[in-house]
Every structure is written in structure tokens, then in C-alpha cells.
């Protein structure tokens, strides 16, 4: 039993020659069932005849919440043609994919993106029970696409090892990380395109109910840090974040150069599971981490994460700010960086504490660094608004 569902496996062929013993075997196993919810796992079922269908119908009389999961396309067609899907919930199984030896072209908080072939990529989630997250991301991507954001829409869900992945068609697409690494002389061009898409995202208004509110999430981060920051500094941080107005414009939430792709001259956004709404401050906090904050103690880590060296990541950050904000005033740009960094380091500090960072010397050193960055930068700001 798992999550109050009793699972039974269907195997091979079920027809008139073996329907009776199969029914006896299932009934014997159901003696241990303590829930009305029964799932017949048809992943290994090759064929089922009318005799087998009648077995399932008799079982459903005893267990009204019975359902069939992981049916292959061929077996699902039998259920559908016989009208079985109108009587009992039947869900298709997922094709199995392997990413062994595949190039990693993107990586976010919830999964990695692999190139399967020149036409196809798959985002594999870290969590084994990722199906709800996948369906949520598909819906967010669909909403963004309808609102005019150029994004790749996943067309399939696949089983990848012990987890699941969303499959996308991206013909010969390359991430901006790849393009910048291959064409360093065109860095300015790609930063400009990167900023143009960011502006389009931030100018897109969404309905309040369609996407999560990042402001509420950030307030949660700050509340978590109450016992870890100087009390006066925490009060100031809390007051400043609370003062950021509710904003119903779209933000991506994980906007770095591995999540922006170029396909046949068109710029596309991927990795939509972090899509939300809120003030651009929260977006720039995430961008600051992706290009600066993550690497304070290990500059070499940029190669593994972004695909290029630390100097390039800093250059991208420094180049994008004047393009986005339309100013070269060093004081104004420094203020943007400070405000972004305060929220960015709050996120990093909370995350590391939640991951038992105090248990190691390195973790304690990082937590102290993040704390110092937050408290020192707070001295120079009276508002978090840009």
C-alpha cells in the first residue's frame, strides 16, 4: 500500500485460457487490501480479451475506486475501443527513455535538461514523484505561450530511470550558454537578446490566479531567517520586503543563460516550472545568484553550471543591468545590485540552513558570509524598489 492505494500488477496476456486463475490470484492478494482504492498496474500487460475485461469489472464491484494505470498504447486502445475507459479510469503508461551519455544543456532547481538528439530535449526532474510538478509546468508553459512568450511546449511525458521527464522538440537549438562559450566575440549580441526577452516577460501581465505570487514566497524566506539575523537588521529586511507592492507581471524565477535557447534565429524560453508573478526585484535576485552569488567562494563552479568562466558570468551581469534599466549611472546600477543581492543571499542562506549547513565547517562559513552580505548591504538601502 502507498498513499492509501493498493497496487496490483497485471502481467503478460489475460484471455479465456487464464482469466479464471488470474482472477483467483488477484482476489487472494486483495485479502490484504485495507483501502477502497485499488490500482491495477498494466505496465507489463501485453494483451487483454473480453474475458479479462470481465474479471476487472467484477473486481470493480467490490472496489468502486478501482483504476488502471500505466497501460501501453496497444492495451489502452483495447480499453478504449470496448468502451472500458468510460466505465473505469484508465491512464496510459509512459515511454521509457535513457539519458545515459546525453549532453546536459540546462540545469535548474528542480531538474536537468538533456539533449536526446538533434531534434529533442528532455527535462528530467530530480524527484521520483515528479508527475504533479510536470503537469504543473506544462500548464504554466501553455499559459505563457498563450500570452505571447516564445517558449517550447512539452509534447510528451516519459519515464527516465526512477523519475519522469518532459520531452520537447527543439530542432538544433542551442542554449545561450553554449552560444556564448562558442562565440565569445558575440557576447554583446547575446546579452542584448537575453535582456530583450527578459523585458518582454516582465511586461506581460497575468491573472492573479494563474501563477504563484513570488512576493509571498520571498516573505516566507525572510520569516525563516528571523532567528539567524541581527534582530534590528531582520526587522528592516522584513519591513522592506513587506513594502514591495503586489505585482501581477510575469517573472521567470530562474532566468539564466542555460534556460534561454536559440532555434533558427528565434529566442525561446525553457524550464518553466519556476514561472510566477511579482516585482522584477525578485527576478534580479535570482539572476544575481546565477551569475554572482553562487560563486563567491568557488569561481571555478561557473564552468560546470553556466558553461563558461567566472569573468564571463560577471561580464554578463554587468552588461545586462544598463541595457535593462536604460542607464549607465554607476550609483543607480550599484543600488540595483545591492537590492538584488540582499534577496539573493537571503534565499541562499535559508536554503543552506535547511540543508543542514551548520553541520559542516564549510557550511557555517558560507552561512556567515551570506549573513554578512545581507546585513552589510541593508545599511545602504531604504527601499528595495528599483
Query: Is residue 371 domain-shared with residue 272, that is, in the same domain?
Result: yes
pLDDT at 204: 98
Shared domain for 160 and 230, answered yes or no, is no
Domain holding 146: CATH number? Answer: 3.30.200.20
Sheet holding 111-115, edge to edge: 95-97, 156-160, 163-169, 120-125, 111-115, 103-107
Would you say 154 and 164 are in contact if contact means Cβ atoms under 8 Å apart?
Answer: no
The pLDDT assigned to 2 comes to 46
Q: Of 42, 63, 93, which marks where a domain is finished?
A: 93
Looking at the fold, whether 187 and 333 belong to one and the same domain comes out as yes
Contact 90, 67 (CB under 8 A): yes
Please check whether residues 178 and 219 belong to one and the same domain. yes
For residue 198, tell me if it sits in a domain: yes
Q: Are residues 101 and 35 in the same domain?
A: no
* Judgement on whether residues 156 and 178 belong to the same structural domain of the protein: no
Closest among 71, 59, 2 to 28, alpha carbons compared: 59
Note whether 352 and 259 are same-domain residues.
yes
**Domain annotation covers residue 1:** no
Indicate if 188 and 78 belong to the same structural domain: no
Secondary structure (DSSP) of 121-168: EEEEESSTT-HHHHHHHHHHHHHHHHTT--BPPP-EEEEETTEEEEEE
- In this structure, is residue 384 part of a structural domain? no
The CATH number for 44's domain is 3.30.750.24
Task: Tell me the residue range of the domain where 128 lies.
Answer: 97-169
Would residue 27 count as lying in a domain? Answer: yes
Residue ranges of the chain whose pLDDT lies below 70: 1-3, 171
pTM: 0.80
Task: Please report how many Cα atoms fall inside a 13 Å half-sphere around the Cα of residue 239, on the Cβ side.
Answer: 10
Contact 242, 253 (CB under 8 A): no
CA angle 17, 20, 21 (to 5 degrees): 95
| pLDDT recorded at residue 348 | 98
Helix axes 361-378, 231-243, angle to 10 degrees: 60
Domain final residue pick, 142, 169, 196: 169
| Helix locations, 228-329, DSSP H | 231-243, 280-291, 301-305, 310-325
- Please report the pLDDT score of residue 94 as a whole number: 83
Tell me the pLDDT tens digit for each residue of 74-128: 899 999 999 889 999 998 888 889 999 998 877 777 888 898 988 888 999 998 8
In three-state secondary structure terms, 303 is helix
Residue 46 and residue 119 in one domain? no
Number of domains in the chain: 3
Residue 385 lies in a domain: no
Q: What is the pLDDT of residue 220?
A: 98
Within-domain flag for 156: yes
Amino acid at each position: 500500500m502507498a498513499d492509501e492505494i493498493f497496487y496490483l500488477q497485471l502481467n503478460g496476456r489475460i484471455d479465456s485460457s487464464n482469466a479464471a486463475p488470474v482472477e483467483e490470484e488477484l482476489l487472494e492478494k486483495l485479502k490484504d487490501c485495507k483501502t477502497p482504492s485499488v490500482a491495477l498496474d498494466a505496465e507489463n500487460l501485453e494483451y487483454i480479451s473480453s474475458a479479462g475485461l470481465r474479471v476487472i469489472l467484477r473486481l470493480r464491484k467490490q472496489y468502486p475506486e478501482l483504476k488502471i494505470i500505466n497501460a501501453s498504447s496497444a492495451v489502452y486502445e483495447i480499453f478504449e475501443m470496448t468502451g472500458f475507459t468510460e466505465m473505469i479510469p484508465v491512464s496510459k503508461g509512459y515511454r521509457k527513455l535513457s539519458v545515459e551519455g546525453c549532453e546536459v544543456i540546462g540545469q535548474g532547481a528542480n531538474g536537468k535538461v538533456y539533449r536526446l538528439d538533434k531534434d529533442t530535449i528532455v527535462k528530467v526532474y530530480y524527484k521520483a514523484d515528479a508527475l504533479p510538478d510536470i503537469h504543473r509546468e506544462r500548464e504554466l508553459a501553455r499559459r505563457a505561450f498563450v500570452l505571447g512568450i516564445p517558449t517550447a511546449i512539452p509534447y510528451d511525458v516519459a519515464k527516465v530511470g526512477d523519475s519522469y521527464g518532459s520531452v520537447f522538440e527543439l530542432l538544433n537549438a542551442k542554449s545561450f550558454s553554449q552560444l556564448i562559450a562558442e562565440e565569445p566575440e558575440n557576447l554583446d549580441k547575446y546579452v542584448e537578446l537575453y535582456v530583450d526577452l527578459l523585458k518582454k516577460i516582465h511586461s506581460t501581465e497575468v491573472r492573479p490566479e494563474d501563477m504563484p505570487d513570488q512576493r509571498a514566497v520571498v516573505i516566507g524566506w525572510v520569516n525563516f531567517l528571523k532567528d539567524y539575523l541581527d534582530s534590528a537588521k531582520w526587522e528592516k529586511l522584513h519591513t522592506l520586503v513587506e513594502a514591495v507592492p503586489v505585482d501581477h507581471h510575469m517573472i521567470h524565477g530562474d532566468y539564466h543563460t542555460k534556460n534561454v535557447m536559440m532555434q533558427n534565429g528565434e529566442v525561446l524560453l525553457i524550464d518553466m516550472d519556476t514561472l510566477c508573478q511579482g516585482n522584477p526585484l525578485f527576478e534580479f535576485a535570482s539572476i544575481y545568484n546565477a551569475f554572482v552569488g553562487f560563486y563567491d567562494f568557488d569561481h571555478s563552479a561557473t564552468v560546470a553550471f553556466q558553461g563558461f568562466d567566472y569573468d564571463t558570468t560577471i561580464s554578463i551581469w554587468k552588461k545586462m543591468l544598463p541595457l535593462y534599466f536604460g542607464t549607465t549611472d554607476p550609483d543607480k546600477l550599484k543600488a540595483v545590485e545591492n537590492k538584488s543581492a540582499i534577496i539573493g543571499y537571503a534565499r541562499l542562506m535559508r536554503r543552506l540552513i535547511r540543508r543542514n549547513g551548520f553541520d559542516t565547517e564549510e557550511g557555517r562559513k558560507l552561512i556567515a558570509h551570506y549573513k554578512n552580505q545581507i546585513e552589510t548591504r541593508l545599511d545602504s538601502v531604504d527601499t528595495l524598489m528599483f
